[in-house]
Amino acid sequence: KLLPGEPNWANYIKGVVAFFKGTVKGFDAVVVSNVPLGGGLSSSASLEVSTYMFLEGLFGKTDCQKEKALICQRAEHEFANTPCGIMDQFISMMGTANNALLIDCLKLTSELIPMDIKDCVLLITNTNVKHNLGTSEYAVRRSQCEEAARILKVRSLRFATLEELNSTYTSANVTFWNVGTIS
Q: Which residues are catalytic?
A: 88
Find out whether the peptide bond into 7 is cis, omega within 30 degrees of 0.
Answer: yes
Distance in angstroms (rounded) separating the CA atoms of residues 86 and 105? 7
pLDDT band at 1 (very low <50, low <70, confident <90, very high): confident
Residues 27 and 64 in one domain: yes
Average pLDDT for 74-95 = 94
Domain membership of residue 5 (yes or no) is: no
The per-residue pLDDT for 175 is 54
Q: Residue 16 has what pLDDT?
A: 97
Greater confidence (112 vs 60) lies with: 112
CB 47 within 8 A of CB 12: yes
Residues 177 and 107 placed together within one structural domain of the fold: no
Q: Which residue has the higher pLDDT, 172 or 74?
A: 74
Write out the residue range of the structural domain in which residue 175 sits.
Answer: 138-182
Give this prediction's pTM. 0.81
Q: Is the pLDDT higher at 41 or at 78?
A: 78
